Structure 1
Amino acid sequence: MSNVKYADEKAPGPIVNEPSRDSDEDGVTFDALVAKDRRHDIQLRTMSWQKAAWLLAGEQVCLAIMAQSWSLSVLGWVPGIITMLLAGGLFYFTSMTMWRFIMKHPQIMDICDFGYYAFGKQRWAYHFTAFMLLANNIMLIGFHVLTGARVINTLSDHSLCTVTFSVIVTLMGIVMSLPRTLKHVSFMSMFSAACMGIAILLFLVFVGIEDAPGLGYLGAYPEAGPVKTYAFPPSGTTFVAAMNAVLNITFLWVPQILFPTFISEMEKPEDFPKSLAVLACLSAFLFIVPPVIGFRYLGQYATAPAFGSLGVVVYKKASFAFVIVPTLVIGVIYANVSAKYVYKHLMRGSRHEHSNTLIGWGVWIAVMAAIWWIGFIFAEVIPSMGDFLSLLGAAFDSFFGFIYFAVAYWQMNKRDLFGGFGRTVKTAFHAVVMLVGLFLLGPGLYAACDAIVADYSGSTRPAFSCADLSI
């Protein structure tokens, strides 16, 4: 797709006489695409499965983990844990469906190509997916600009206007985003995952040794009574609150919008399940165990992120400080995928697309700067981090975590949906996936928008405010 206007037109380049098992109807194979990539100055298809695993971990091990204790405080133990387990199971199996679909269509370079093929080579699907890709990724970059400003606010005791901190984070993000291959970004991901792991570990130590939590949404300890946990949502929990807690969980588990781009830059895409297995094991531990411990010690005082619930200021700063690294690196990953999409359309067919030329690098830097500055604007106009997560989970994860993969399964198996017990079970599973996606898109999007309206009707920071965002 990256070499032509639409993926139903045959791609130029070497085509083998005997199409391998990983070839599409045009006979294009991964081997042919890798061989063609080797002739470029800037080679993209170079990642091993180990580097891909680090890249996946760097994108997944993020601050959103620290919002899950709050989700448990809204849902309670039983619905909360069930939602986490279901989200994890759906994530793994839909990711495998996505990979199998890509193996049948080697030309897929990003989620836009995926949507094009999944919906039967419809051009509207490609353009709709492109809009969703850029909107999702740029809003997520904005979320990380906002997070970075909060980190610096907290560490500096709000020594400068928050907008200034946001500008600083944006400039740092632009500089860090200059590498053009995900292979290079994967090295950053190693440090990102390690720093987030240290932040989580410090939080768990501090929450266990301090006498009591500090400030929660219901007031400072002990205004809301002694710390308590509960099996089910407490009385008075509204549908909007419960739905936003669910969206926080699904947002954490649904990163597949980036996976087609990751796979397209692997030297051996058939090894992606190894990378996915590493990510699934790591995620199963980090997405459940730290939030459970956090809820156990914070109870109804849990905030999002949970660092804000710590009662000792030095504990809060020491653990939250490490979040600045994953905040920037994850923003870099989303910026890289977004910039690649824009860049390939601007430079398609020219020698600058895959070469180290002054024009090529100038356009790349300009595109990257524009993406980060648009993200900066989103960071300034959406009032809270929770609103960001809920809106993204409903508007985008419903498509890129569920609906698209149910459609892809149907596209692969529409001639034999009920051929035997195993195929029937898989078909039923993907029907459930579709229903979950539609539920998140409908009631979920309503709940997210309702929360944003409520925030703006109450006391919340105005756009481009210098207000202190310290946790």
Structure 2
Amino acid sequence: MKESYFSVGPAHLVGNDLVGYHDVDVFGHEEGHQIKYKTLSWQLVAVLMIAEIVSNGMLSLPSSLAVVGIVPGVILIIFLGIFATYTSYLLVQFKLRHPEVHNMGDAGMILFGPIGREVLAFGTVCFAVFATGSQLLAGQIALASLSDNRLCLMLYTGIFAIPTLICSSPRTFDRLSWLSIPAVLAILIAGIVGMVGASRHPVEPRVVQATVKSDFYTAFTSITNPVYAYAGHFMFFILVSEMKRPQDAMKSAYVLQGFATTFYVIFAIVMYVYIGSDVASPALISLESKWMKAAWGIAIPNFLIAGSLYAHTASKLFFIRIFRKSKHLHSHSKIGWGVWILLVVVMNALSFILAVGIPIFNYLVGIAASLFASWYTYGIAGAFWLHDSYHDGNGVRTWRKKPFHALLAFMTVLAGGFICIAGTYVTVRGIVDAYRNGQVGSPFAC
């Protein structure tokens, strides 16, 4: 049986205002509360989204072009950007229709009941923790490159984990949004520095191809890079829940996808053209030493804040689950702050332990992305449209009256399923090959 806060009626737009939204949303009316969550403007949400999504994932895009060729690689990046914009729209519409939804777990409750709620909530936390660990490893590489690997790699990860923990500790995204501004500038400038460095020191001789023949395993392994470079939709509901005007959420999504797609294409093309088919993943490793160090150093704030956003998201899901409808949600109580700090510490500690303690951690990030991010970013958005159009209208007859929308929604679900299955397959096969070739190190190794 569904809990009471999932049995409310839908909010709806009248003119440019949402009627009924704040009566039933997760944070309710916040007048007089000590801690106010719904303070974000659409501009700050766009900054948060960019800081979270446009991060270390883009550094693998040039290597994807090297595997499939510049033409199909660029087409794929642009297509995925358009596809992610469409699924963003579906997610935002579902959130406006269901203000009580705070995270993917809540959405799972509406679609599939209690089991769906737990599965999608687990997936959100799982992916957020692994993504935090991925950012810690990006910080590790950056610090190691700057210091010429003078310390144990695990120590670099620990050093980077401390500020990540501190930055993820604010209770609201509003505090993190201002830190995200320099994070966005950092990854933008780092990308520009990387491209300038590649153009100043091009690899000679180099091979640049329009198309490259490849088998399915090799091609799809490289395709996962651009697919997961857009994998930030699992945070959309949580971010929109803290907006002053949720009806402006698509403005944030348009800015995000426009910036991400444009930057991805330019960065991937320039790095691939000047470095060629031997471009590494991450691409900054292929740069001349001083340019590599400059780019890594500038990018550090982005890795730090992106990791903090992921850890904050995982903590926030548990916190809302524990204190929903409780006075501790909006007050500076000892219990509220105690539980919050404990959750933040646990999520960051878990990310650190997994990142340094599991030799195949990067493969596990790929599995988590395949199992969950493929659905959150792509597939499940179609299910949201099918659910609401079915229940708001006349069931299947509504789908028949809107055949194009219904077909697109079904294709979106199928696309999510394909990415999930194929991505999991190539990642598991990659793990098997890594063990077979002796490429797997020891846990907690330097």
**What TM-score results when the alignment is normalised by the length of structure 1?**
0.87
Tell me which amino acid in the other structure corresponds to 2:442. P
- Give 3-state SS (helix, strand or coil) of 1:36's partner: coil
- Select between 392-401 and 275-284 the one with higher mean Cα deviation: 392-401
What is the rounded CA distance, in whole Å, between the counterparts of 1:393 and 1:134 in structure 2?
12
Q: Could you report, residue by residue, the CA deviation over 1:133-177 in whole angstroms, capped at 9, with x for unpaired residues? A: 111100111111111111111111122111111111222211111
- Are the equivalent residues in 2 in contact too, given 1:77–1:230 (CA < 8 A)? yes
User: Residue 249 and residue 158 in structure 1: after superposition, are their counterparts in 2 closer, same or farther (change >3 A)?
Assistant: same
1:353 to 289, 306, 329: 329
Q: 1:297 to 1:6 in 2, by over 3 A?
A: farther
Among candidates 417, 421, 424, match of residue 442 of structure 1: 421
- Give the helix-richer structure, 1 or 2: 2
> Which residue of 2 is the match for residue 29 of structure 1?
21
Distance (whole Å) between structure 2 residues aligned to residue 166 and residue 6 of structure 1: 43
Contact 1:75 1:232 in 2 (8 A): yes
- Which position in structure 2 is the counterpart of 1:456? 435
Cross-structure match for 1:217: none
| Distance change in 2, residues 1:130/1:211 (3 Å) | closer
Tell me how far 1:396 sits from its aligned partner: 1.6
- Residue of structure 2 in register with 1:465 after alignment: 445
Q: TM-score, normalised by structure 2?
A: 0.92
Aligned Cα RMSD in Å? Answer: 2.2
Structure 2 partner of 1:285: 262
2:243 to 262, 266, 276: 266
Partner of 1:8: 6
Match of 2:169, SS state, is coil
Change (3 A) 1:118 1:39: farther
Q: Which residue of 1 aligns with 2:297?
A: 321
1:211 deviates by: 4.3
SS of residue paired to 2:327: coil
Deviation at 1:239, TM superposition (A): 2.5
- Alignment check: 8 A CA contact 2:124 2:234 kept: yes
Q: 1:211 to 1:105 in 2, by over 3 A?
A: closer
Q: Does the Cα contact within 8 Å between 1:115 and 1:404 map onto a contact in 2?
A: no
Which position in structure 1 is the counterpart of 2:276? Answer: 299
Shift of 1:321: 1.0
Shift of 1:28: 4.8
Mapped to 2, the partners of 1:407 and 1:204 lie a distance apart of 40
Please state how far the C-alpha of 1:268 moved relative to its aligned partner.
0.7
Q: Distance in 2 between matches of 1:391 and 1:104?
A: 31
Q: Which amino acid aligns with 1:129?
A: L
Task: Give 1:37 shift.
Answer: 2.2
Matched, 1:379 2:355: yes
Match of 1:431 in 2: 410
Structure 2: distance between partners of 1:80 and 1:157: 33
- SS of residue in 1 equivalent to 2:369: helix
Partner of 1:221: none
Amino acid at match of 1:53: A
After the TM superposition, which of the residue ranges 456-465 and 67-76 deviates more from structure 2?
A: 456-465
- Aligned residue number for residue 204 of structure 1: 195
Query: Can you list the C-alpha shifts for 1:27-55, whole angstroms capped at 9, x where unaligned?
Result: 95236647622332111111111111111
2:208 is aligned to: 229
Distance 2:441 2:291 in 1: 26
Residues 233 and 267 of structure 1: is their aligned pair in 2 closer, same or farther, counting only changes over 3 Å? same
Structure-1 residue corresponding to 2:72: 79
Name 1:408's counterpart in structure 2. 384
Q: Report SS of the residue matched to 2:6.
A: coil
| Structure 2 counterpart of 1:149, one-letter code | Q
- The corresponding residue for 2:86 is 93
My pick for the range that moved more, 182-191 or 349-358, is: 349-358
Counterpart secondary structure, 2:329:
coil
**What residue number does 1:253 align with?**
230
Match of 1:369 in 2: 345
Q: Which structure 2 segments of 5+ residues have no match?
A: none
Counterpart Cα distance in 1 of 2:286 and 2:360: 17
Displacement of 1:384 after TM fit?
Answer: 6.2
Q: Does 1:141 align with 2:132?
A: yes
SS in 1 for 2:74: helix
Assess if the C-alpha contact under 8 Å between 1:102 and 1:108 holds in 2.
yes
Contact 1:240 1:448 in 2 (8 A): no
User: CA separation of 1:196/1:391 partners in 2, compared to 1, >3 Å: closer, same or farther?
Assistant: same
Q: Name the amino acid aligned to 2:122.
A: F
Q: Give the structure 2 partner of residue 395 of structure 1.
A: 371
Contact 1:248 1:390 in 2 (8 A): no
The change in CA–CA distance for 1:20 and 1:435 in structure 2 (over 3 A counts) is: closer
Residue 39 of structure 1: which of 32, 43, 51 is its match?
Answer: 32
Aligned residue number for residue 313 of structure 2? 337
Give the whole-Å Cα distance in 2 for the aligned partners of 1:295 and 1:385.
27
Question: Are the structure 2 counterparts of residues 188 and 283 from structure 1 closer, same or farther at C-alpha, using a change threshold of 3 Å?
Answer: same
Alpha-carbon separation, structure 1, partners of 2:237 and 2:310: 13
Equivalence map 1:57-206=2 (5 Å): 57-119=50-112, 122-206=113-197
CA offsets 1:321-345 (integer angstroms, 9 cap, x no match):
1121111101111111111111223
Long gaps (5+) in structure 1:
214-225, 467-471
CA–CA separation in structure 1 for the residues paired with 2:363 and 2:148 = 24
Q: Aligned pair count?
A: 434
SS at match of 2:45: helix
CA distance in structure 1 between the aligned counterparts of 2:11 and 2:94, rounded to whole angstroms: 17
Give the Cα separation in 1 of the matches to 2:199 and 2:340.
Answer: 47
1:165 and 1:113 mapped to 2: Cα distance?
Answer: 37
1:382 positional shift:
4.3
Alignment match, 1:49: 42
